[in-house]
Chain A
């Protein structure tokens, strides 16, 4: 059977006014979400943002406090997990340790009394290239193999909706890439609706055609990955999805095409179309790779925002690019990613530099950097490192 025959059309998923409260806290508040059939949708957010709860609500492993869940237009809010046309690839894989691989994969088919369960299970295993291990036990497989079995166990049932709960979290980088590709291929071949939950922005961006960034139980922004990256709507999105240099200030000038923001004396221009707010105090930003580093003051131009002079306080070389931290007095610290096109760094630590970027690359946010502190889950090493660095930078500035 060609892989295409697996494709039983995926179904729309609709969440209407979902609220989920646990004693003591609200995990999800007023969530409305529609995922069209056949799409690969990623819910991206830090741990504790409610994304896993959302997934469990869809799977039927949790009940919403309020709201309705519809799959393919059918209200499934009051049906139990085993009655929903949904399958999950669990984060821990949850392969039954007392059953062989083939027994695991045919488990769902047998429950639904589907004819030729074994044959279909073997086909699914062939799809993930593990049919030769059908008689093994899950414990005898590597992490990557287990992950593929978990995938086969889910898709063999041809669910209307496939839920992926950080399925790549436990894999090493190389396997991860491989699995990402494989998942994407299978999704394209099978044509199911995929709902993928992850905290890994790269994973979300490479795989999904629509990404929803979730924070504190609500969706902050939703759209194609490139759109989210190029024009983030909120401070949270700007910082969680990649890195951003953010500046706050009052709008001092506004034409039909651009607004000018006074950031501690520096005048920064953002196209009106790329700014969410056009008056009062606003926060604007630019991605570090869009920023250029200059050893001498660049020529003033209407097309470029220029900041400087400032000092390089840190240089870290990472192969394809070099990351510079530049302090501009009054404005703050910027991160600059420079492609290693030449040989050796452009500027050494302590060097006096200017930075500039194309006006068209800036974006204006909907909220303020101060009102929503930089995302920080305190168990996350990355954010700890960020805080450390910020503290160090602040200390350096004082001297």
Chain B
């Protein structure tokens, strides 16, 4: 019955605007609800607003610019074809560093974070709330404080700033996000699945690797993607802990005062398109799967 109610509720809204019999009395409609047209219109405007800088960045990656990429000088594919030719490949160097740092931080943070998430959901122990707080605080701390704190620590201990310090820093702020993402996934798992595995003669290790882990994979993957995105786009913490190493955001920041070459737009646009494609494919396949499931049910 609740299905009926919901279907009726959902369909009812549609019917209000679409299914009105043209032959019936003129739609002496009680005041047209604001939501009927105002909200969709607003949504479109909001999306245009959100996408303006992205479109701008993308368009200016085709600008036949000289050193700084501010005014439009004509269309060219050159920047896309010769990304690494400018400034002795500094952009590509920075981009490469960002990728390496992103991957390293993602691998470490995802491993450590997944372990913590498993422990938090599956085991009881004292100091639970203290650990929760420890995991929550990095997310509630402004990046500038995280960055300055780590820098102060590295300074005090006398560690020189290089790639390693950046990776250490990025791993730190990624762990909490991994824990949150994976934990949500574990909590939604039916514990009976593991019990069934044990009931069917699986040893604890077998149950973990053959039942739990495969079920967790989507959550872990999502956490890894989130980590990589956070690391790749981080500037503030990197700036405090990078020394002379350049990353892509740092390159943009430093070049901002003297003009950013169009090649930076090329890299950002390429990353954007790649990420967008990834998410759209995931989203579409998920919706399609949900649809198929709904039809089966």
Contact = CB atoms under 8 A, between A and B. Distances in A.
A–B direct contact (CB < 8 Å): yes
Contact of B5 (A22, A52, A65, A79): A52
Contacts of B43: none
Contacts of A61: 9, 12
Contact of A78 (B5, B19, B28): B28
B25 interface: yes
Nearest to A56: B8
Nearest to A78: B30
Given A23-B15, A62-B8, A65-B15, A80 B30 contact: yes
B19 A23 contact: yes
B297 to A, nearest CB: 10
Interface string B23-39: 01100111000000000
Interface residues of B, number: 21
Interface string A338-349: 000000000000
A23 B12 contact: no
Interface string A189-203: 000000000010000
A321 to B, nearest CB: 29
Q: Is the interface of A mostly helix, strand, loop or mixed?
A: loop
Contacts of A32: none
Contacts of A146: none
A245 interface: no
Given A23-B19, A65-B20, A91 B5 contact: yes
B141 interface: no
B159 interface: no
B18 A23 contact: yes
Question: Is the contact region of chain B dominated by helix, strand, or loop, or is it mixed?
Answer: helix
B8 A91 contact: no
A397 B244 CA distance: 90
Contacts of A62: 8, 12, 15
A243 interface: no
Contacts of B81: none
A157 interface: no
A52 B9 CA distance: 10
Given A22-B19, A63-B16, A65-B15, A27 B1 contact: no
Interface of B: 1-5, 8-9, 11-12, 14-16, 18-21, 24-25, 28-30
6 contacts: A23-B11, A23-B15, A47-B4, A65-B15, A66-B24, A91-B1
Interface of A: 19-23, 27, 47-48, 52-53, 56, 61-63, 65-66, 78-80, 91-92, 165-166, 169, 199
